[in-house]
Structure 1
Amino acid sequence: MKKGAFAFVLHTHLPFVRKAGVWPFGEEWFYEAMAETYIPILDMLNSLRRDGCRASLTISLTPVLLEQMADEYMLSQFRVYVADRISRAESDIKRFSSDAAMLKIARFYREFYSSTLRSFDSVYRGNVTGAFRDLQDAGYLEIIASAATHGYLPLLIRDSSIYAQVETGVRTYEKYLGRKPKGFWLPECAYRPSYEMREDGSSRLKKGIDEFLRSAGIDFFIVDTHAFEGGESFPASRTSAPGAKKFTLEQKGEPGSRTSLLPYVLGSECSVFARNRRTGMQVWSGEYGYPGDGNYREFHKKDSESGLQYWKITNAKAGLGEKEIYAREKIYSRVCENASHLTGMVGRMLSDFSSAGGGAFGIVVAPYDSELFGHWWFEGVMFLEKALRALSLAENGIEITTLGGYLEKHPPQQAIKLPETSWGAGGYHHVWLNSETEKMWVHIHEREKKMEEMVARYGGAAGILKDALDQAGRELLLLESSDWPFLVTTGQAKEYGRERFSRHCENFDAICGLVDSGAGDEELGNLVARVNGADNLFADLDYNIFACRE
C-alpha cells in the first residue's frame, strides 16, 4: 500500500544569450548547460525508459530556453564548444601521461564529452526539444510551461505585460511540444494575489497572477514552502550559486494549519503546490546537503591550461590550494547512499503525515533548478537516476509521480489564499527589487506603458511597420527578464546584467522612436534587421498582444 507520493520538479531556464557575449558571460552558459545538464538528463531518462522503470518527473522548459534549443546558430556553436572540450581533454591526456591520477580523469573527460556529442548528433539528431517532447508523449516526463522570458511577474505594473509573458509562454510551449500545458512554473516562484490599485484619484482591482494563468488554461503552479506554512524562507534558485551574496532578510509568519504536503485550490480554480523544505535543503545545499560531500567534484578549481576540473571538494573548509585529486571510483557508492537516504527521508515524512492526518495521501514536492544537476553538482544527474530508481521500488511504498498525475487522482480538498511571495532570499522581492535595481523597474514600467501606446496608435499595422512593432515587443519581453536584476543583486555578473538590460531598453527606444518619427521603410527595415539579427526569438509574436487590458 502506498503511503504517499513524491515528485521531482526541475526548473530549466537560462536567459537569452544568443550573440550576447560568449565567455565568461553569455553563450557559454548555454553550451555548458547543454553538455553537463540537459543532454545528460535526457540520457538518464532514456536509460530508465529502456529498463522499463516508470519513474517520471516534472520539468519546466522556459520559452526563452526552448527558442535557444531550437536555434541553428546556437546548436552549431554548441558542437564547436563540445569539440573544443574534447580537444582540451586530449591535450591533457598527453600532458598528464606520467601522472596516473590526472591521466585517468582526462580520459574520463574525453569520453564524457564524446558521449555527449554522440547523444546530441546520433541519438537526438540535434533536436533536443524533440527529445523532451518524445519522453512526455511516452509518459516518462511531464513538461510544464513558464513565462516568455522569465519576467518577474509580481513587479510588472501593466496587465498587458503579464498577459504577454504568460500567453507567449503558452503559445511557445504548444509550438515546440505539440499540446496545451497543464502546469506553469512562475519565474522565481514569485506570486502576488489580486489587490486594489489606486491611481489618479481612482481605484481598480488588479488581477492576481493565478487569474492570468487560469485564463490561459493552466491548472497548477508551485510556490515556496513559507507561502503555505509560514516560518522562515531559505534562498533557493540561483541565489545559492557560487559567487552570490547571502542575504539576512527574513520573512516570518505564524505557522498555520496549512501543509506543504498537500495542494490547495485558489478562488480562480488554479491549484497550487508548495516546495518541501527538508528535501530542498538536503538536495540543494552545498553546506548541509548532498552536493557538499568531500568526494564530489570541486566546481571552482579549474586547470590553468585546459580549464577542466580535476579536484574534489575535499572538505568545506579547504582552500582551492588544498583540494585533493578527484577520484571517480569513489563516487558511485556515495551517490547510492545519498539516494537511499533521500528515499528513507521521504518515506518517513509521508508515513508520519498519513498517520497524523487520518490516512491523507500527501505529496513531497521537490523543485530545483535543473542546472544544479550536472553543472553545479557534477554527480547530480547520477544522483537523480539512483533516486528515481530507489523511490520507485514497490517496497518503499512511495508513488513517484508528476504534479499533474497527482492532481488527477487527488484533487485538492481545501481552498487557500496566498500571500505575495517568491523563493528568493527572504521570501519576498528583495533579490529583484532593491537599491541597486530600483531604477531598472522605473525603466521597465515606462516601457510597458509605451508599448500599450504603440499598439493603440498603430493598430492594424502591416509590412515593415508591423515587423518593427513586433520587434519592439520582443525587446520589451527581453528587458523584463528577471535575470538582469538577479545578476546585478547577486554580483554574479553585475555589469553583464546591467549591459544586457540597457541594450534591450535602447533597442526598444530606437525602434519606437523611429516609428514615431515616420521613418521610411528602408531605414526602419535596416534597424529591425540589425536588432533581429541577435534577438530573433518568438518569430510569431504579434505586437497586438500588448494591447491595454486595464
Structure 2
Amino acid sequence: MKGAARRRPVFLSIILHAHLPFLRQPEYEHPLEEIWFHEAMLECYLPLARCFRNLHREEVPFRLAFSFSPTLSTMMRDRYFRERFERFLNERVELAEREVERFWAIPALQRLACFYHRRFLKLKRFWEEEIGGDIISLFRELEEEGRLELMTTAATHAYLPVFDVEESTVEAQVKIGVESHRQHFGRIPPGFWLPECGYTRNAERALVEAGIRYTVLDFHGLRRYGERGRCEGAWGPGPAGLMVSKSGLYLFGRDPDASRLVWSARDGYPADGVYREFHRDGLEEAEFGYARPYRHPLGSGVPSGMKYHRVTSLETPLRKKEIYDPGEAEKKAREHARAFLKWCERRRGERETGIVVPFDAELFGHWWYEGPEFLESLIREARESVVRLRTPGDLLKRKKRVEKGEGVFSSWGNHGFSSVWLDPSNDWIYPELHRASEAMRSAALRFWEEGGDRERILNQAVRELLLAQASDWPFMMKAGTTVGYARTRFLRHIERFWKLLAMAESGETEEAFLRDCEDGGSVFPWIDFRIFGLRNMRKGRERQKAKGKRQKGKGKRQKEKGNRIFGA
C-alpha cells in the first residue's frame, strides 16, 4: 500500500485569472490609467503567452486553466488599445537604448539596461511578427491544441454577492460574460470564475442556467452533506476539495496552503531577496529633463518597465535596496519551482490527490517579475515528477464519484466575505446601483418590442450600467488607491445611464451624446437590453403555462424575441 501511495500521482490544477477594468478613454491623447493595460501586457500577458507558445512548440506537455474577463478580452482585440500598446512598447525599446548609454560608466547598471533592451526587443518581435498583435487568437489556438482550458467571468467583473437581491443583474452579468467568451473564443466555456470567488445561491443558479459546469470557491465556502443529507461543517481542500451541488454545478475549493506559498509577498516565494523589487522604478531617480519624454504630460510618473534593484529584504528601505541580478533571480525561480513540486508530492495520500490553486494572472510577471520563469520551470520539471498538471475539467473526467455538498456565501477577500467591496468607503454607490438596475429592468419590459433609436439607446444604457457595476471601483475606494479615478468612473457611467434612460423615455435622441457614449463605452457591441427583463418574461410565461393558457399576438412575439437573447 505504501509503495502504491508513493507512485500515485498528484493532480495540480493551476488557474490564472486575468482581469482589468475597461479603460477606453478616446477623448484623451494620454490617459494615465491606460498605462495599467500596457504595463500588464508588457510584464504579464505577453511573457506568459510567449512561454506557453514556446512550450507547445517544444512539445512539452502541460495543461492549465486561464480565465479572461470580458473587459480585458475586448481591450486585447480593440485596435485602439493594440495601436497604443505598440506605441508604448516602441517607447520602451527606445528608452532601454538610452539607458544603456546613460549607464556607460556603471557596468552593473549597464548590464541590466542591456538585459531590458534584449527583453523588450524579443517581446516586440513576438507581438509584431509572430502573433500579429493578436494575443486572443493565440490563446484560442492553445486551447484548441489541448494546452489550455479557457474560462470566463462576469461581464464587467461585478462582485455578485452585493447584487444578490437583483436576479436580473446577476443573470445579465453571467450570461453576457458567457456570450462574450463565445464571441472571442468560439465556444461556451466549461468553467466560470466568480469575481473575487464571490459565491451566492443566485449566482450558482445563473451559472447552471448559462450552461456552466464548474466554478471555484475559497476553501471556507464549501459544505458537505452528511449521511442524513444535512450540511456538516467546512469542507477543506485536498483529495476531496471537489463536490457537486444539488443543481449539478461542480464546486472546487481553493487550496490555501498552496496558494500562500506562491502568492504571499511576505511568506511566499516572491519575498525572496534576490527577486526584483516592484516598488522602485528606474526612471524615478533620473533627471527630469532626461525622463520627460517617458513621463505623463501632466508630470505623473509612468512605469518604465526597467527596475534596477532587488527585494534584498522586506525590512530594507527602498533607497538601500541592492542591485538586481536577473541571472540569480531566474536560478532562484527554478529552485522554487522544484520546491513547490516537492511540496505537492508530500500531499499524497491513500486517495487520489487534487490540488486546485487559482491566482491573479498579474502575479506572474507584474507583481512577481520572475513569475513566468517559475511557471515555465514548474511545467518542465513536472515531467520528471509525480505531479500532473491538469485543468478543472480534466479532474471532473477522472472523478467517478463526487460527494454532494453545497456552496455558502463567501469570497477570497479579506476576512472571507464582502468587507472589501461593501465598506463605509464605498457603500454609497450601492443604493444608486440598485435603483438603476430596477429602472433598467422596468424599461426592458416596457420597451420590449421597440427597435430603431430607442433600442440603440437602451443597449448603450445597459453598457453604462454594467460598467458602473464593476468591482474595481469599490475595491479602489476601499484600498485608498486611485480613489478619485474610481469615483469619477463610477459617477460618469451612472450619470450617462440616467441620461440615456431619459432619452429612451422621451423618444428624443441626442446623437452627439449617444455617439460619445458608444465610443467610450464600446464593450459588447452585440448586447441586447432585453437581458434585464428576460427573467421576468420567463416567469410570466411559466405562470401562464401553469394555468394552461397559450400566448397569442403580442405575447407570441415577446416569446420569440426572448428566445433570441443569448440562447435564452
Choose which of 75, 97, 104 in structure 2 pairs with 1:90: 97
Aligned residue for 1:58, secondary structure, equals strand
Cα distance, 1:257 vs structure 2: 5.4
Structure 1 counterpart of 2:267? 288
Map 1:141-180 to 2 at 5 A. 141-156=148-163, 157-180=165-188
Aligned residue for 2:215, secondary structure, equals strand
Cα distance, 1:459 vs structure 2: 1.8
Choose which of 83, 89, 107 in structure 2 pairs with 1:100: 107
Structure 2 counterpart of 1:538? 524
Map 1:517-528 to 2 at 5 A. 517-519=506-508, 521=509, 523=510, 525-528=511-514
Map 1:30-429 to 2 at 5 A. 30-156=37-163, 157-193=165-201, 208-228=202-222, 256=234, 258-262=236-240, 263-303=242-282, 304=284, 305=286, 307=304, 308-349=306-347, 351=348, 354-355=349-350, 360-393=351-384, 396-429=385-418
Contact 1:22 1:28 in 2 (8 A): no
Counterpart of 1:488, as a letter, is M
Choose which of 19, 22, 27 in structure 2 pairs with 1:16: 22
Provide, for residues 459-478 of structure 1, a one-character-per-residue CA deviation record: whole Å limited to 9, x for no partner: 22212211110000001110
Structure 1 counterpart of 2:491? 502
Distance in 2 between the 1:120 and 1:38 partners? 11
Contact 2:208 2:249 in 1 (8 A): yes
Contact 2:219 2:236 in 1 (8 A): no
Question: Which deviates more from structure 2 when the two are superposed, residues 213-222 or residues 491-500?
Answer: 491-500
Cα distance, 1:457 vs structure 2: 2.1
Distance in 2 between the 1:375 and 1:23 partners? 22
Change (3 A) 1:136 1:455: same
Cα distance, 1:455 vs structure 2: 0.9
Distance in 1 between the 2:478 and 2:507 partners? 39
Change (3 A) 1:257 1:93: closer
Provide, for residues 376-401 of structure 1, a one-character-per-residue CA deviation record: whole Å limited to 9, x for no partner: 111000001011222232xx222210
Q: Greater CA radius of gyration, 1 or 2?
A: 2
Distance in 1 between the 2:9 and 2:244 partners? 22
Change (3 A) 1:254 1:414: closer
Counterpart of 2:516, as a letter, is R
Distance in 2 between the 1:384 and 1:391 partners? 11
Distance in 2 between the 1:473 and 1:290 partners? 43
Distance in 1 between the 2:501 and 2:234 partners? 50
Structure 1 residues without counterparts, runs of 5 or longer: 194-207, 231-252
Contact 1:190 1:420 in 2 (8 A): yes
Choose which of 489, 493, 498 in structure 1 pairs with 2:482: 493
Contact 2:143 2:150 in 1 (8 A): yes
Cα distance, 1:25 vs structure 2: 4.9
Cα distance, 1:44 vs structure 2: 0.6
Contact 1:67 1:537 in 2 (8 A): yes
Provide, for residues 352-377 of structure 1, a one-character-per-residue CA deviation record: whole Å limited to 9, x for no partner: xx23xxxx212101110000000111
Contact 2:66 2:151 in 1 (8 A): yes
RMSD: 1.8
Aligned residue for 2:313, secondary structure, equals coil
Structure 2 counterpart of 1:203? none
Counterpart of 2:273, as a letter, is G
Aligned residue for 2:346, secondary structure, equals helix
Distance in 2 between the 1:59 and 1:276 partners? 17
Distance in 1 between the 2:234 and 2:151 partners? 29
Distance in 1 between the 2:331 and 2:515 partners? 54
Contact 1:260 1:275 in 2 (8 A): no
Distance in 2 between the 1:365 and 1:378 partners? 23
Distance in 1 between the 2:439 and 2:401 partners? 41
Contact 1:92 1:106 in 2 (8 A): yes
Distance in 1 between the 2:400 and 2:491 partners? 45
Aligned residue for 2:112, secondary structure, equals helix
Cα distance, 1:112 vs structure 2: 1.3
Cα distance, 1:514 vs structure 2: 2.0
Counterpart of 1:176, as a letter, is H
Cα distance, 1:120 vs structure 2: 1.0
Counterpart of 1:319, as a letter, is P
TM-score between both structures, scaled by the size of structure 1: 0.88
Counterpart of 1:379, as a letter, is E
Structure 2 counterpart of 1:2? 8
Distance in 2 between the 1:229 and 1:283 partners? 26
Distance in 1 between the 2:220 and 2:126 partners? 40
Cα distance, 1:24 vs structure 2: 8.4
Distance in 2 between the 1:290 and 1:496 partners? 32
Aligned residue for 1:8, secondary structure, equals strand
Change (3 A) 1:218 1:18: same
Cα distance, 1:107 vs structure 2: 1.0
Aligned residue for 1:340, secondary structure, equals helix
Distance in 2 between the 1:191 and 1:546 partners? 21
Change (3 A) 1:549 1:3: same
TM-score between both structures, scaled by the size of structure 2: 0.86
Contact 1:261 1:365 in 2 (8 A): no
Change (3 A) 1:513 1:344: same
Distance in 1 between the 2:223 and 2:275 partners? 33
Aligned residue for 1:145, secondary structure, equals strand
Aligned residue for 1:15, secondary structure, equals coil
The alignment-based identity, stated in percent, is 32
Distance in 1 between the 2:310 and 2:31 partners? 23
